[in-house]
Amino acid sequence: MHFLLSWLILAAAVYVTAAVLPGFHVKGFKSAIWVAALVGVLNFFLFWILFVSLGIVTLGIGFLFGFLTVWVVNAIILKLVDSLTDHLTIDSFGWALGGALMISIIGSIGNHLIM
C-alpha cells in the first residue's frame, strides 16, 4: 500500500509541477502516472550510480553538498524520462532543475501528510 501511495503522490507532484512551471509539460494525469513510474524505475536503477559518479567527478565536493548533488541527479533523471517518453516534455535543463526541486518539495510534503 505504501508503494502505491508514494507513486500517486509522485504522480500528483509531477502533475502540479507541470501546471505551475511553464517549461515543464505533461499531457494529463494519466501521463503523470506514467512519468512517475518511469522516474521511480530510473531512480531505483540509476540514482546511486549517478550520485557516486558526480561525487567522484567533483573530487568529493558532490559528497559534501549531497543535497545539491541529489537535486542535480533528480534533474538528470527527469531529462532522461523526457527523452524516453513523449508523455513529458522539458524545455531545458534549467526547467528540469526547477521541476526536480518542485517535485521534491511537493512529494516530501505529500508523503509527510499521508504517511
The tens place of each residue's pLDDT in the chain, 115 residues long, gives 788 999 999 999 999 999 999 999 999 999 999 999 999 999 999 999 999 999 999 988 888 899 999 999 999 999 999 999 999 999 999 999 999 999 999 999 998 998 7
How would you class 63 by CB atoms within 10 Å of its CB: exposed for 0-12, middle for 13-18, buried for 19 or more?
A: middle
Contact 51, 45 (CB under 8 A): no
Confidence (pLDDT) at 49: 96
- Which has the closest alpha carbon to 46: 17, 84, 18? 84
CA 89, 51, 70, 112 dihedral sign is positive
Report pTM.
0.93
Q: Which three cell numbers stand for residue 13?
A: 507532484
* CA atoms of 47 and 98, how far apart (whole Å): 18
Segments in the chain forming alpha helices (H): 2-20, 29-57, 61-64, 66-84, 93-114
